[in-house]
Amino acid sequence: MHNSIRRFIAHHWPHLVIAGRGAAAALAALAAAVFLKLENPYWAAMTALIVIQPTRGLLFEKSFYRLIGTAIGSVAGLLLILYADSPMALTIALSLWIAACVGIGNLLYGLRSYAFLMAACTCAVVALSGHQNPLHVYSIAFGRIACIVVGIVVATAVTALFTPRQSRDELENRLRRVAADSVAWLALLLRQGRGGTLVRREQDILIEIAEIESVLDVVGAGSLRLKRQKRHARSLITSLLSLLAVGRLAGEQLARHNDNDHRHGYWRDLLARHLEEVADKLENSSRVNCTSEMAATAAEAKAHLPLLGESLTEIVTSLRLVLDGYDTMADPPDTQPSNLFLRHRDWQEARRAALRAFGTIGVVGVTWSLTGWTKGPLMLMAISIMISIFSTKEHPALFVGQIFCGAAIGSATAVFCRIVMLSGVTDPLVMGVTVAPFVLCGVLAMSYRRTAIPATDATLFFIFVTQPGVPIAVVPADLALGAVAMVMGVGSAWIAYRYLIPINPGIRLRSLLAAIANDMQLLAAADSPVAKERSRARMHHRVIRLVAMATRYHTDHLALVEGGLAALAIGRCIERLQEARENSRPSPAVGIIRDTLRALSDSARRPQSVSTALENASIALYAVLGQDGEIGGASDRADADAPDLSRGSARCWGSRGARCLI
């Protein structure tokens, strides 16, 4: 047995160390809050567990936004409890506040969104706790803020020295590799055309770009310098997306050239060789800025394929800003990014999230108001947290389902601990020693990926129901009923996410597809450079989001990736048609483009008809490119093979593309 224990400890030692630090932070925060005589000191222990992060920058930044959201939510909760003179009035006010915070939170990204969601759930905690204890309203509001501060300070002091910094080299290397892969892909495209192997490589590049963009917020957390670098990294990502689109069009153009033209083949081989040299330096030369060689190659490409040369020049500009920022020790100047990057904001899903929060909290709150159930506030508190803080998840029903299991286990364990082990105990020190093994086991389970989600909420619910540091006598039946009410709140949130106003990756994908089609329509109708740039920038980020979600949730994600590439190419094709239109006399092609894309945008809201609409759109665009004399001649440099675009896009927007694992 002794040997078995030693092997177990050796195998799980890293997790045990992490668990020890987390448990120590939680118990130290609890002790500090008890020493300061704060209301509900266990809030400090819960905060200490929540703010622990894998990197130091993320620890600092999440703590900051949690504090901001808590302060705003506490003030709002205090005002609600002071001016809402009945449960019904409190329910209405709370529903409106949480709906507004959830709606805004679903329009934002990262930790800014987290701040609004924290303001929503903190308001519910303060208002409902104050309703149950009207004589301690001010101390509850102040105690909530103070406990958050104590939890953040203690967790930072205990864990910050052992939390690694975010590696900047890792991001730089990934950006170098994806730029090198893109240039190498272009070289092969010039040599052999767009074949099956290159199609898959093109898809892999887009998947890698989407993965890099998804971690930029984490990489830039807690550092102003890295935040500036993040903007330049996104500018580089935009340039790489443009290269994929233009390279695809150029590949189709070169495939239709006369292969017997010796001069044409000579410059293609020469340019491909130069691109391969640049790609090799980008891939293998650590900390070497090779943008000068790349700029020369871009100028060479511009002489034969102007649009391709322009895209390579954009990459050179963006890559130089990224590498210069990493290669200098001092803070780089706050240079504006060379490309606009606009994030996708899903107004439709934000409205649905706000409506879901308002309806769910309203139904539970009205039921509590009419029945007068004494545990109604606890159920309403739990559902307010679940319906707000997890509303931005791509699949919240799956997430909350795991939380339900953890909440049930944690609550049951807490009831046992409080009734059996802490019965009659009022000494905070004894309470802390008693709950310490349970907290340690919970934090240990949190350190494993498979059990992280349920274990986190099991530990938090255990602390909340046990309420260590609060020397009160509890009635066993009353404690058990309160725990059941909270678990019921979690279950009600799951029902709302799953059935009331459902949200899942399939719904979010369809929303993205409709938004991309609408971007194409706006791009076709744009009459100013600013409008074109904004439409293109939004579509770029939506394609990235589409690819990232498809990779995680879709069984046939390559179909969606191919469709995203096709969307980029069609968007670039539209821009070239517009440039040709502006440089020539008015043409009926303009009306064809607008009518075609309007039909495409309308069809995106009916997934079953999108495949046909895309095929018709591709045929119409192909006819404009190939048959319109004025535009056809001017657009040869952008040549889009519309049937090929149709195949990729139809797979993306077809009925198979709209189906997702849910």
Query: What's 231's domain CATH number?
Result: 1.20.120
Indicate if 323 and 390 belong to the same structural domain. Answer: no
Amino acid found at 426: T
The predicted model scores a pTM of 0.85
Indicate if 537 and 595 belong to the same structural domain. Answer: yes
pLDDT tens track for 360-372: 999 999 999 999 9
Mean pLDDT of the 154-163 span: 79
- 402-to-106, 350, 405, 474, 579 alpha-carbon distances in Å: 22, 24, 5, 29, 53
Residue scoring higher pLDDT (7 or 73): 73
Under the banding of pLDDT at 50, 70 and 90, the label for residue 628 is very low
pLDDT tens track for 385-394: 999 999 999 9
Tell me if 312 is assigned to some domain: yes
Domain encompassing residue 9: 2-165+345-500
Q: Say if residues 396 and 490 touch (Cβ distance below 8 Å).
A: no
Tell me if 552 is assigned to some domain: yes
Tell me if 544 is assigned to some domain: yes
pLDDT computed for residue 556 by the predictor: 77
Q: Is the predicted pLDDT of residue 270 greater than 90, yes or no? A: no
Indicate if 114 and 179 belong to the same structural domain. Answer: no
pLDDT computed for residue 15 by the predictor: 84
Structure-block tokens of residue 125: 């905690």
Indicate if 458 and 531 belong to the same structural domain. Answer: no
pLDDT computed for residue 90 by the predictor: 95
Nearest alpha-carbon partner for 216 in 347, 331, 343, 393: 343
Tell me if 262 is assigned to some domain: yes
pLDDT computed for residue 602 by the predictor: 59
Indicate if 6 and 147 belong to the same structural domain. Answer: yes
Indicate if 252 and 295 belong to the same structural domain. Answer: yes
Q: Is the predicted pLDDT of residue 591 greater than 70, yes or no? A: no
Q: Is the predicted pLDDT of residue 117 greater than 70, yes or no? A: yes
Mean pLDDT of the 194-198 span: 73
Tell me if 335 is assigned to some domain: no
Indicate if 444 and 512 belong to the same structural domain. Answer: no
Indicate if 356 and 448 belong to the same structural domain. Answer: yes
Nearest alpha-carbon partner for 175 in 338, 329, 320, 292: 320
For helices 347-371 and 476-495, angle between their N-to-C axes, nearest 10 degrees: 150
- Terminal-to-terminal C-alpha distance of the chain: 44
Amino acid found at 322: V
pLDDT computed for residue 309 by the predictor: 81
Indicate if 259 and 289 belong to the same structural domain. Answer: yes
Give the number of domains in the chain: 3
pLDDT computed for residue 403 by the predictor: 95
Tell me if 661 is assigned to some domain: no
Among the candidates 500, 535, 559, a domain finishes at 500
pLDDT tens track for 542-582: 999 999 998 988 777 888 888 888 888 888 877 777 776 66
Indicate if 288 and 257 belong to the same structural domain. Answer: yes
Residue scoring higher pLDDT (119 or 265): 119
How far apart, in whole angstroms, are the C-alpha atoms of residue 546 and residue 513?
8
Average pLDDT over all residues of the chain: 81
Among the candidates 458, 477, 500, a domain finishes at 500
Q: Looking at mean pLDDT, say which of 140-144, 219-223, 225-229, 622-626 comes out highest.
A: 140-144
Under the banding of pLDDT at 50, 70 and 90, the label for residue 601 is low
pLDDT tens track for 493-507: 999 999 999 999 989
Lowest mean pLDDT among 307-311, 347-351, 514-518, 608-612: 608-612
Q: Is the predicted pLDDT of residue 291 greater than 70, yes or no? A: yes
Lowest mean pLDDT among 52-56, 99-103, 395-399, 579-583: 579-583
Q: Is the predicted pLDDT of residue 296 greater than 90, yes or no? A: no
Indicate if 359 and 479 belong to the same structural domain. Answer: yes
Tell me if 658 is assigned to some domain: no
Indicate if 186 and 210 belong to the same structural domain. Answer: yes
For the chain, state the CA radius of gyration: 29
Among the candidates 500, 517, 542, a domain finishes at 500
pLDDT computed for residue 261 by the predictor: 53
pLDDT computed for residue 28 by the predictor: 93
Q: DSSP letter string over 294-361?
A: HHHHHHHHHHH-HHHHHHHHHHHHHHHHHHHHHH-SSPPP-PPPSS-------HHHHHHHHHHHHHHH
Tell me if 332 is assigned to some domain: no
